[in-house]
């Protein structure tokens, strides 16, 4: 009775099309028998070095040079001699069976690793990482696509250029300009700022704008209480100083909330988790639970903020350094955005030196440079004593996958901290900013991105009374 492992190894030697299709997905760990592992490793190394399959003779010579003990060498030579060419095997069937073999072995290995984690033998991965291991194993498949043919797929490419991408627009004109109309789905967007500069203020303001525009918002907080986040959004949407909300008569408060309910179909859910205790798998469970219990499906997620999330794959501390840990969190949050087809907006702290730096750069990202490597859009919020007196914030683009980051590399926005609100500034506020890129006319270039034109059918003037 022939084994599937023997059939795979035989075709890796004698069947070049099969080798090209399957070898990138096969792994040494998928083979249980030690002889199978050794022979596969020899075949894999030969193909990588010479871009061709080895002959039986070449394989035997490679085994002779491998410093194997006598018993191992004898078993491997016997296996090699059994790898004869078979002409009657259906190649399509063989590829399908090989894919099934890889998936079964990947799941089996993931289960063994999960047991090791549960027994405490794995010092790196946490129990929360088990679902990710199994999900990755179940996702094993042979990708039949060999790439985009520049000439033959030109029509598909043209359709892609003209496809209208779903985006969440800002109510800040210049942010819409630099992102070409807002932030698209399946993206991770990060605000970088020092303590007290305005990370939460920025996210609360954008969340309020998205809610006012009739979209659903999920705001996850690991730093402040749910009521504190809602308080900031109240100050923004109800046009009341945050320290005066407690003095607002109940009847007037109810009246303003009623007007807000009439003006928008959007919903906002604020969910609080203890600091450093929740990770992407918790957020996935929350999304599924919200849909089942409230029929709520968000259009955007705010996470306040990334560095105080946990990783679903790694245990905090231990043998995992901060670079790996924070990068893992960023990758998991971006994976969440891709899986649920929505944008994720979050924030991160600057380093100690970056806190006092008036020209923050990517190198001022605290804990891990892997975060900006993962983010799609990243910008710094910069404040000085002079800017505080002017009620302004400087924004500096650090990374932008949506547009040329040198366009409006630095720009100013207004800030009303009492009402937890940001606003557009006139052209005169942008004229003296030193910019590393070209300095086009802000006023002319922003005409087509004005908030009033984007939401010309939505009048929210009645809310702010």
Residues 143-184 pLDDT 10s: 666 678 888 888 888 887 787 778 999 999 999 999 999 999
- pLDDT in the model for residue 442: 45
Domain 167-454 bears CATH identifier 3.30.1360.120? no
Mean pLDDT across the chain: 86
Q: What pLDDT, on the 0 to 100 scale, is given for residue 190?
A: 95
Name the residue with higher pLDDT: 362 or 115: 115
Confidence of residue 434 (pLDDT cuts 50, 70, 90): low
The answer, yes or no, to whether the previous bond of 228 is cis (omega within 30 of 0) is: no
pLDDT reported for residue 436: 42
Class of domain 4-101: mainly alpha
Q: What is the distance between the alpha carbons of residues 380 and 397, in angstroms, rounded to a whole number?
A: 6
pLDDT at res. 346: 96
Query: If you search the block for the tokens 């249980």, which residue do you land on?
Result: 32
What is the pTM assigned to this prediction?
0.67
Q: What is the DSSP string of 13-47?
A: HH-HHHHHHHTTT--GGG--SHHHHHHHHHHHHHH
More confidently predicted of 67 and 332: 332
Residue ranges matching CATH 3.40.50.300 in the chain: 167-454
**Please, what is the end-to-end C-alpha distance for the chain in angstroms?**
83
Domain with CATH 1.10.860 in the chain: 4-101
Contact assessment for residue 348 and residue 379, using Cβ atoms and an 8 Å cutoff: no
For the ranges 83-97, 174-188, 206-220, which has the lowest average pLDDT? 83-97
Continuous segment of H or E residues that includes residue 10 = helix 4-14
Percent over 90 (pLDDT), the chain: 51
pLDDT at 144: 60
Q: Is the pLDDT score of 448 beyond 50?
A: no
For residues 294 and 110, is the Cβ–Cβ distance under 8 A?
A: no
State the Cα–Cα distance between residues 338 and 348, nearest whole angstrom: 20
């Amino acid at each position: 009775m022939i084994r599937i492992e023997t059939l795979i190894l035989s075709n890796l030697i004698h069947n070049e099309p099969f080798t090209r299709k399957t070898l990138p997905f096969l792994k040494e760990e998928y083979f249980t028998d030690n002889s199978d592992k050794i022979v596969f490793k020899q075949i894999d190394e030969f193909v990588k070095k010479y871009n061709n399959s080895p002959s039986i003779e070449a394989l035997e010579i490679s085994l002779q040079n491998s410093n194997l003990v006598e018993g191992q060498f004898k078993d491997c030579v016997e296996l090699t001699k059994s790898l004869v060419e078979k002409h009657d095997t259906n190649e399509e069937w063989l590829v399908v069976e090989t894919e099934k073999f890889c998936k079964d072995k990947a799941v089996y290995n993931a289960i063994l690793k999960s047991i090791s984690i549960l027994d405490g033998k794995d010092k790196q991965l946490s129990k929360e990482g088990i679902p990710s291991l199994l999900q990755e194993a179940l996702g094993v498949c042979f990708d039949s696509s060999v790439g985009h043919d520049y000439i033959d797929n030109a029509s598909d490419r043209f359709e892609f250029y003209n496809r209208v991408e779903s985006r969440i627009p800002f109510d800040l004109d210049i942010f819409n300009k630099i992102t070409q109309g807002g932030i698209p789905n399946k993206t991770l967007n990060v605000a970088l700022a020092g303590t007290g500069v305005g990370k939460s203020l920025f996210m609360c303001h954008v969340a309020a704008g998205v809610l006012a525009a009739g979209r659903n918002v999920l705001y996850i907080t690991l730093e402040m209480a749910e009521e504190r986040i809602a308080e900031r959004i109240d100050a923004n949407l109800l046009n009341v100083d945050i320290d005066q909300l407690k003095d607002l008569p109940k009847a007037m408060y109810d009246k303003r909330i009623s007007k807000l309910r009439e003006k928008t179909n959007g919903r906002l859910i604020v969910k609080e988790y203890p600091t450093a205790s929740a990770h992407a798998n918790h957020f996935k469970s929350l999304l599924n639970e919200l849909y089942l219990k409230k029929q709520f499906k968000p259009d955007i997620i705010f996470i306040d903020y990334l560095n105080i999330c946990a990783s679903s794959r790694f245990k905090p501390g231990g043998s995992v350094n901060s670079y790996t840990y924070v990068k893992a969190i960023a990758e998991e949050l971006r994976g969440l955005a891709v899986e649920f087809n929505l944008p994720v907006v979050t924030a991160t702290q600057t380093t100690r030196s970056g806190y006092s730096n008036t020209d923050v750069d990517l190198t001022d990202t605290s804990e891990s440079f892997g975060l900006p490597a993962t983010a799609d859009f990243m910008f710094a919020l910069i404040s000085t004593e002079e800017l505080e007196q002017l009620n302004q914030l400087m924004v500096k683009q650090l990374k932008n996958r949506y547009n040329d980051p040198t366009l409006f590399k630095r720009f100013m926005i207004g800030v009303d901290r009492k009402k937890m609100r940001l606003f557009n500034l006139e052209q005169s506020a942008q004229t003296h900013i030193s910019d590393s890129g070209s300095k086009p006319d802000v006023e002319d270039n922003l005409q087509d991105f004005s908030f009033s034109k984007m939401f010309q059918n939505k009048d929210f003037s009645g809310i702010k009374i």
